[in-house]
Amino acid sequence: MTAIRALIFDFDGLLVETELPIFQAWQRIYREHGHELPIDQWMTTIGTASAAFDPFEDLQHRIGSALDRANVDRLERDYYRELSALQTLLPGVQDYLRDAHHLGLKVAIASSSSRKWVEEHLERLSIGPSAWDAIVCREDAVRTKPDPALYLEALRRLRVLASEAIAFEDSINGIRAAHDAGIFSVAVPGQMTAGQDLGLASLRLSSLTEMPLRTLLAQVGQSRPDPAN
């Protein structure tokens, strides 16, 4: 049986609930212009930086006139900060990181978001870059999720095999990326992704508090065949 040596975490919606406030910020901008943000199209953007849907372009099309992108971007940032000011790590995250450290496991982040976005949040939450063995962001791969490139780069930096890692994701784009990288994936959906079909995941938890890390490691070991057989 191959031993697990590393845990790779998505960022948005998995470590911190950033996805709901971003949606709510854009929802507010749409409503200020007399329109509703299409939730079905917005969902395609979660977990990736390469979605076809662009809310700015969509809103311009809906109102039939040009918008000032700089002004809209400023509003989005201001509304997001207001909505996320009191955010903390999601339940169970701190326990998993602590237990991973005690067990000698490597920990990494694989995110379709920018490095600046990820690291600013990590510093605010007092788990900055020094707490991680690798942080892989969209600048580090040619393609973002659902492409497996971010996960493959994380494996390379951690110096572990796909069979030696577990990926934690909250979205279908992230689950597909981990799956295609050959990594055992655990779906932990957030408020925005709870209704997505995450059946491609190897395991689904309602929260990281549902199953302690040691129990999860035992279950992963029992559910995977020995690659040598």
Active site residues: 10, 12
Q: In what order do the strands lie in the sheet with 6-9?
A: 134-136, 106-110, 6-9, 165-169, 184-187, 203-204
Structure tokens at 79: 């509304």
Structure tokens at 167: 């990926």
Contacts with 109 (C-beta within 8 Å, 6 or more apart), sequence order: 8, 9, 10, 11, 15, 118, 132, 134, 135, 136, 137, 154
List, as one string, the DSSP characters of 3-17: PP-EEEE--BTTTB-
User: Three-state DSSP class for 18?
Assistant: coil
Cis peptide before 21 (omega within 30 of 0): no
Q: Contact at 8 Å (CB) between 144 and 112? A: yes
